[in-house]
Amino acid sequence: MSIVTHLFTLIGAAVGSAFAWKLLQPEFIQRSPSRFLASAEKGRDGRPPVALVTGASAGIGVAFARQLARAGYDLVLVARRKDRLDALAASLRQQHTIEAHALPADLANADDIERVAGVAADVSEAGRLDLLINNAGFGTVGKYADLPFQSQLDMLHVHVTATMRLTKAALPGMLRRGRGGIINVASTAGWYPLPGNATYSATKRYLINFSESLQAELDGSGVCVQVLCPGFTYSEFHDREPYRASGFRRERLPAFMWQTAEEVAEASLNALGREVVCIPGVHNRAIALIGNFTPRALVNAAWQRISPV
């Protein structure tokens, strides 16, 4: 073998190993629970830290709230459905010795975003906001040209504007304290273009770039940022109207493609402070990585063929 062949073999082996490491490492390396999953450290005033979770009336948001309550966090729970938030807050207060408050808000609405940002800023200024989880989100089904513009604008506000505003509100207090975590919930859909879900995939891409850039700006500050990119997850997401009306059926996708909301929330909390990009599940990491390196025309053509809607 010539020296050039040896060189290419070495480079191939190194790239292959790095790829395999990236795919497998979080599942197969046993780690002690991160500080966000272990029991919450009380502040100097003896009070537990606070986590503010948006989209806490269903799915992944509820899973985050339950796991954080178990760890001893006080909670501020945000979503539109007040009855759901009240019921969750009451049950978490009863099961764990924590405070949990419902903060009903429509994050597509500018006034509501400001109201929630005000609460986030106050709790953060008081030195108690340890965790902000920007999780609220929804999908639509159909071509951008055919969808009502308002639905796409609402999505932009819920996914992007609310995340930007709440992050801005939370940061000064966290930075002063030199401690805190921010999780922005994106999706594997942010790793490639998705015809039929153009705004969804674009807003989730925003969250990936925003979070990675922000973490680089915050390095050494004690505040950590994570972008969580789940794949298909059991929640109410695919039960909502646009998916129901489109005839979406979970069984059309193989069972291994689905994760529970609890698995996703646990992977995220465990990775916070350790990995900026958290993609739970080997299959999802493979999808994201391959999607990132494959020519766009091929990704588009493949998606049109396998899209479950």
Residues at the site binding ligand NAP, with contacts judged by CB under 6 A: 55-61, 79-81, 84, 106-108, 135-138, 158, 185, 187, 230, 232-233, 235-237, 240, 261
256 burial class (0-12, 13-18, 19+ CB within 10 angstroms)?
exposed
Q: 247 to each of 21, 232, 250, 277, 294, how far by Cα in Å?
A: 38, 16, 10, 32, 29
Q: Compute the distance between CA of residue 305 and CA of residue 264 in angstroms, rounded to an integer.
A: 27
Residue with Cβ nearer ligand NAP (48 or 211) = 211
Residue with Cβ nearer ligand NAP (140 or 233) = 233
CB of 89 to ligand NAP, least distance (A): 13
Please say if 243 is a catalytic residue.
no
The DSSP secondary-structure symbol of 109 reads S
Residue with Cβ nearer ligand NAP (50 or 65) = 65
Residue with Cβ nearer ligand NAP (106 or 130) = 106
Catalytic residue among 73, 192, 200, 206: 200
Q: How far separated are the first and last CA of the chain, in Å rounded? A: 50
CB of 35 to ligand NAP, least distance (A): 23
Structure tokens at 187: 């999706």
Question: Which residues are CB-neighbours of 271 under 8 A, at least 6 positions away?
Answer: 26, 34, 226, 278
Amino acid at the residue 199? T
CB of 56 to ligand NAP, least distance (A): 6
Backbone angles phi, psi at 137, to 5 degrees: -175, 165
Structure tokens at 106: 């429509």
CB of 69 to ligand NAP, least distance (A): 16
Catalytic residues: 200
